[in-house]
Amino acid sequence: MPKAESEGALKAPRAEFGIHLREYRKAARKRQKELAAMLGWSVSKISMVERGERPADEDFARAADAALDADGGLLARWRETIEYSSRWPVWLARLAEIEQQADTLRLWQPLIVPGMLQTPEYARAIFRGKPATVPEEVEQNVAARMERQRVLHRDNGPTVWVILDEVVLGRPIGSEAVMAEQMAHLAALDEHPRINVRVLPRNSWLTTGLQGAFVLASGPEMPDMAYLESITLSQVTADSGRVREVKSRYETLHNEALPRWASLQLIGEMAEKWTN
């Protein structure tokens, strides 16, 4: 069995199977074009599955397993990723896939600290706010959120640019202790070589980002994408026109945000305020 490239690193379910498919294909010394011809599918489909941009169903996994003489190994990997993905909310699985593939993430949040930067207790308080959520579901969601954050600590992890509305720093979530810990965590991220946190001041009068949070993602093996967040219907789009509009909004917000040093100073002041 080929050694998975992802060993020791978190991968979202769809991307995980794509890695296994590519490894088995290389072990069988087949090019994408050859595998596509054997399966009767297009080269672009093979490529998209390997990059994690398209899901693979059981028929695809079974046929690829036979074509690559995987002796059931590739099919077993597919079943493992399907079982694993069932633990993830649908919206989270797709967002995690994007985070894994991207080399640059740009985040805007007008309401709360973004999930990628949350402490466990802050995240726990957020998830408890959903009506009818049982404790087991809360803990499952917190664990998934912390697991997603591991991508930030990979050697080849993405560069992350974050803009927070100033009101996020003062909105009570959980308790004073939870907020103090969260603010200290944001301040500590200044030491991270690939994370830059900026704050949009309360007195900016800017309305560009009031419609909701979003994430912009880009990378060498993916189209530029935007994740648009709402309470009931979060969505991912690669439509060039919509992505371009979101980029324009992000640039407007970035231009109005405080510089890094001033943002860090404000976060530090809020950490002290919550502590006291």
Helix residue ranges per DSSP H, the chain: 13-27, 32-39, 43-50, 58-67, 73-85, 90-101, 120-128, 135-148, 166-170, 176-188, 240-256, 260-275
Write down all domains in the chain, each with its CATH number in brackets. 13-85 (1.10.260.40), 90-275 (3.30.870)
Q: In percent, how much of the chain has pLDDT > 90? A: 65
| Confidence at 99, pLDDT banded by 50, 70, 90 | confident
In the prediction, which pLDDT does 8 show? 33
Q: Examine the pLDDT at 194 and tell me if it is beyond 90.
A: yes
34-74 per-position pLDDT tens digit: 999 999 999 998 988 887 777 788 999 999 999 999 999 99
170-193 per-position pLDDT tens digit: 999 999 999 999 999 999 998 999
Q: Residues, the chain, total? A: 276
* pTM of the complete model beyond 0.75: no
In the prediction, which pLDDT does 263 show? 97
Q: Which residue has the higher pLDDT, 69 or 86?
A: 69
